[in-house]
Structure 1
Amino acid sequence: MKVLRNCGVAAAVAGLGMALSLPAFAQSPTVNVGGRIHLDAAKYDDDIVPLNDGVLVRRARLGANGTFGDGWGYKVEWDFAENNVAANDLFISYRGLGPGEFKLGQFKVPFGLNELTSSNAIMFIERSLGTEAFADARRLGAGYEHFEGNYGYQAMVYSRRTGSSSTGDQPLGVGGRFVFNPMNDDSGMVHLGIALAYESTDDADSVRFRARPESRAGGSPRLVDTGSIGNASSTLKLGLEAAWMSGPVSVEAEYMLTDVSRGTGNSDVDFSAFHIQGSYVLGGQRSYRGGRFRGVTPGAWELGLRYSWLDLNDGVIAGGEQSNVTLAVNYYATRNVRFMGNIIRVDQDDTGDKPWALAMRAQVSF
């Protein structure tokens, strides 16, 4: 495994070295300052597990992006929410190694349409159960992506997130995603995607999967949780994506499967998740570019409905099974301001816990 890790690091360094050998830095640097503030509130009608009403600064991000040479770019962004300061995107990029873009630093692992859609543009206040449980979000690594015409691909070699700690060798992950658009024109869009992510846990011999009930304000507990799964040697994740859009109507569906390989004397375990969601936009429509959904026409209202399901039970692991149904009403006041409301019906199958949640968000981005 150390050989594979060294190869991955060497490839990243070699790629950067090739880029550095090319003529660059001929242009004056540019700086574009950006940020987002997401303010959430939630009221719960709990059933078995107590859920506390509350408010939350879900995101408070500030950063900058721009260029600093011929083909060179960068992005730095920190999140100041929940009394923590954490790096989000933190990378340099280069367009000059083939037709696509090379990245080095911390950015999102290419896994999951719902995860890769910006939090400024997601249809619901929180992403689906499966996305929270299985998507890796941002990691430190090196990646390459290219989107052209009716197809696109992304690949990444990665390790831990910056700021995380490990008592042994850090894990090594490899991920890839391929997207195909049979149709993407003025008449509509069809999206088909597949993603794979493999990660060796190496000396970090435990993994854990869990999810909140698609609402975080009030410090809502996780109703499904595998706990630490010991003797985990690796994880392999499969993601299947499908989406369709025509005028004001859009539909998205994803299936995720996670296989955990374990050491001698321990059985492998599999967990899975699925969600399907759709919306109708009054006075506008959603946009799509680069293998992911983007924003909605300013001034529009959006009605959304989602069903999500997550199964964290297999063998001796009893993490729980849960399904949610969520109704959304969103108002896009301007290009930079959005108001969101979600009504969530939760069904924890193992315990029979069936709470309700009313979640709201005020969002500003620039």
Structure 2
Amino acid sequence: MKKTLLTMAIALCFTASFSQVVQDTTVRTDHYGQVVDRVPVTAESRNGILVFESKDQLYRLWFDIRVQTDGQIFLCKTLNPIGNGVTIRRARFATKTNLGKNWYGEIDLDFANGAIELKDAYLNYNFLNGFSARVGNYKERFSMSKSTTSRYLKFMERSMVTSAFAPSRHIGLETEYNGKKFLVAGGVFFQEVKDAETNTFVEDNNKSYGRNQGISLTGKFVFQPFGNNKDHGVHLAYGYSYRQPKTDVAPAEYDNIRYSARSLSSINRKKYLDTDLIPGYKYQLLSNIEFAAYLKGLAIQTEIINNRTKRDNNLPTLNFGGYYAQAVYLLFGGKQVYDKSGGEFTQPVRGKKWGDVELAVRYDYINLNDKDVYGGAAEAFTGGVNFYTSRNIKFQVNFSNINHDRYASGKNKLFVGYDINGVLTKDPTKVADASGKAGEKYNQLGVRFEIDF
């Protein structure tokens, strides 16, 4: 009896104390001495994400943290030795907030392998009628694969053509309208904000040469005939971007452009696909056609990206490009989830309490050869298995077969085959066809351990 009374007394004291804290209206000031408004907030875990929110839901703050640990081994005998290894592919820390019904903001940093890099840093205003606008540093609306957060990628790395051409984050101002069956977005963008080196390039180009930062005009239209249907849908999109030279490159490289891509690996540091600096760069035009569809646990996605690089001094226009096509399927009753407002796939719904398993296949192709430029071409077949646990943990296994052509020499620094005497050569014109070995070919096996919280 005494124990029961004691327990009740403690509970009453706790309730009274908690009530006093919640109802406390004592005036508070900030470190500048200004009186501040006080709004109590509650803290809770929402699908493993820590969220602070006011009772009226007009204020919300949450953290978005992501760690991806990758390992890869490279199989088959290669012309150029490749070292196996492991890496922290991403170590992201983001803080996001809603301030009232209209305002949203976030800042996102990457600490992978000890190097700090700014990702997203922007302010968004929602007009609550389908229109919204944002300003700051963020991804341009161009490629479905590029705009999809790395948290929800179906493969360890994006396709080669996406890596080479699709614009990523730049400072800009963008508006968009989200209708019942379509999404349209357009904006003006400037230089890239990334790290200390990039900032130094921008400052040196301005201080020493008085160069404009250059603008990019990027727009995208997405047709979504099934609207926000949860079980099935279709995504058909067209993107276009006009891009002037930027000052986020070394001053000596300002009138040049360079296209390159890693071959589905952040561990293999060899860039077989590389045009080196292309002189006479005037501007480039990018176009993109996308098709995607989903039906319960099945999702397919493909993109075709074309690049036209205009040059001065009567140099011919260059045409590069490529494409990829992929399909994924959840084996245990899960559903693919399409984010209509973003025009991309997001976290799938798991079919079992313990999670789900997803099979994934992809083919991608890229060509950096045209006219007087030989940056190389390549194709890759990738098969993958994604294991989603019941929590915010994902395991990925990818096996890729990668085939480069004889011009994929990493700016003439890598071997591309054997000459007529059976000696390794870096000159594609000296590769003997009879050798049957033109261009680097190999297999790679990769694994990823990911946690989001």
Whose strand fraction is larger, Structure 1's or Structure 2's?
1
Q: TM-score, normalised by structure 2?
A: 0.72
Percent of paired sites with the same residue: 26
Question: Aligned AA for 2:322?
Answer: A
> How far off is 1:148 after superposition?
2.6
Aligned with 1:182: secondary structure?
A: coil
Question: Aligned AA for 2:123?
Answer: I
C-alpha contact (below 8 Å) 1:213/1:220 kept by paired residues: no
Aligned length: 340
Distance 2:328 2:127 in 1: 38
Distance 2:129 2:215 in 1: 25
- Ranges in structure 1 where 5+ consecutive residues have no aligned partner: 1-25
1:302 to 358, 363, 374: 358
Distance 1:342 1:189 in 2: 27
Aligned with 2:440: secondary structure?
A: coil
Question: Aligned AA for 1:183?
Answer: F
Q: Mean alpha-carbon deviation: is it higher for 185-194 or for 122-131?
A: 185-194
2:260 to 191, 210, 229: 210
Question: Within 5 A, what are the aligned runs for 1:57-76?
Answer: 57-76=88-107
2:74 to 25, 38, 44: 44
**Matched residue, 2:287:** 238
**Matched residue, 1:180:** 223
**Matched residue, 2:328:** 279
Q: Mean alpha-carbon deviation: is it higher for 282-291 or for 86-95?
A: 282-291
Question: Within 5 A, what are the aligned runs for 1:290-329?
Answer: 290=341, 291-298=343-350, 299-329=355-385
Alpha-carbon distance change, 54 to 202 in structure 1, aligned in 2, over 3 angstroms? closer
1:104 matched to 2:135 = yes
Question: Aligned AA for 2:212?
Answer: D
Could you give the per-residue CA deviations for residues 174-196 of structure 1, whole angstroms, max 9, x where no partner exists?
Answer: 10111001234255111100000
**Matched residue, 2:443:** 356
> How far off is 1:98 after superposition?
5.8
Question: Aligned AA for 2:153?
Answer: I
Alpha-carbon distance change, 269 to 63 in structure 1, aligned in 2, over 3 angstroms? same
Aligned with 1:296: secondary structure?
A: coil
RMSD: 1.7
**Matched residue, 1:78:** 109
**Matched residue, 2:412:** none
Question: Quick check: which has more Rg, 1 or 2?
Answer: 2
1:159 matched to 2:190 = yes
Distance 1:362 1:71 in 2: 36
Aligned with 1:183: secondary structure?
A: coil
Alpha-carbon distance change, 349 to 231 in structure 1, aligned in 2, over 3 angstroms? same
C-alpha contact (below 8 Å) 2:191/2:246 kept by paired residues: no
Q: TM-score, normalised by structure 1?
A: 0.89
Distance 2:67 2:117 in 1: 15
Alpha-carbon distance change, 212 to 258 in structure 1, aligned in 2, over 3 angstroms? same
1:201 to 207, 220, 245: 245
Higher RCO structure, 1 or 2 (CA under 8 Å, sep 6+): 1
C-alpha contact (below 8 Å) 1:273/1:310 kept by paired residues: yes
Alpha-carbon distance change, 191 to 86 in structure 1, aligned in 2, over 3 angstroms? same
Distance 1:295 1:144 in 2: 25
Q: Mean alpha-carbon deviation: is it higher for 250-259 or for 67-76?
A: 67-76
**Matched residue, 1:11:** none
- Ranges in structure 2 where 5+ consecutive residues have no aligned partner: 1-55, 206-210, 248-253, 407-415, 417-438
Distance 1:106 1:97 in 2: 23
Distance 1:109 1:49 in 2: 36
Alpha-carbon distance change, 171 to 305 in structure 1, aligned in 2, over 3 angstroms? same
Aligned with 2:164: secondary structure?
A: helix
Aligned with 1:342: secondary structure?
A: strand
C-alpha contact (below 8 Å) 1:202/1:234 kept by paired residues: no
Q: Mean alpha-carbon deviation: is it higher for 332-341 or for 64-73?
A: 64-73
**Matched residue, 1:262:** 311
Distance 1:67 1:295 in 2: 21
Distance 2:74 2:58 in 1: 52
Could you give the per-residue CA deviations for residues 166-211 of structure 1, whole angstroms, max 9, x where no partner exists?
Answer: 3232121010111001234255111100000111117732111111
